[in-house]
Amino acid sequence: MNMQVGQVIDGNKWELTQLISGQAKAPERSLRAIFEGIVECLEDNSKTINNSLKEKVWNSVSTERLTLLKEAFLKVFCERIFGKMDNNMIKEMLEEHKQNGCIMNNFYSQQIKVACYFEKEFVLNAVAFEADSMADEFATEVIEAFKNEGIVVFKK
């Protein structure tokens, strides 16, 4: 990511980013893939883990990490999609979205679509990279959560 720690994001760009991409699935998919890989390894060394227990553990360990990943996603999305757009254009798009629930101006809508088309891979890769960077700590949390639920993690 090109965002630097402590870098200030224009308020209108940030708000528009949250409105447009706030329901994005990339952060959850990235973290869920890591979780499923950990569970698969545990099941190789243990017994099959039922789905309700998997969900219980997922819910207990994923919230904090998902919050971090969603914030990282929003920062990258904001930078890559709106970073080079004029602040007046951003302000107009934001006002239109607030009034109509979407951006109806065809020119603005096309600008966003084109930016998304060209930046999608970069944004998704940035989220996947961020998720991978937390995989080791996340694996430890997942294993501990399964141990706390009585799952024998490694056979002796």
Q: List, for residues 22-68, the tens digit of each pLDDT value.
A: 678 899 999 999 999 999 988 876 677 889 999 999 999 999 999 99
Give the residue from 100, 119, 33, 112 showing the smallest Cα distance to 69.
33
pLDDT-derived band of residue 9, with 50, 70 and 90 as boundaries? low
- Residue 156's identity, in one-letter code, is K
Instruction: Give yes or no for a contact between 112 and 20, defined as CB atoms under 8 angstroms apart.
Output: yes
Task: Report the pLDDT averaged over residues 130-156.
Answer: 86
d(CA 16, CA 129): 24
What does the pLDDT look like over 109-136, one tens digit per residue?
999 999 999 999 999 999 999 999 999 9
Instruction: Give yes or no for a contact between 82 and 13, defined as CB atoms under 8 angstroms apart.
Output: yes
pLDDT of residue 46: 66
d(CA 93, CA 18): 13
CA–centroid distance for 115 within its chain: 19
Domain ranges of the chain: 11-147
pLDDT of residue 47: 72
pLDDT of residue 2: 44
- pLDDT greater than 70 at residue 155: no
Instruction: Give yes or no for a contact between 1 and 75, defined as CB atoms under 8 angstroms apart.
Output: yes
Neighbour tally for 150: CB within 10 Å: 7
User: According to DSSP H, which parts of 23-105 are helical?
Assistant: 26-45, 51-77, 87-100
What does the pLDDT look like over 52-110, one tens digit per residue?
999 999 999 999 999 999 999 999 999 999 988 999 999 999 999 999 999 999 999 99
Which pair of tokens denotes residue 3?
């965002």
Residue listed under structure tokens 């099959």: 48
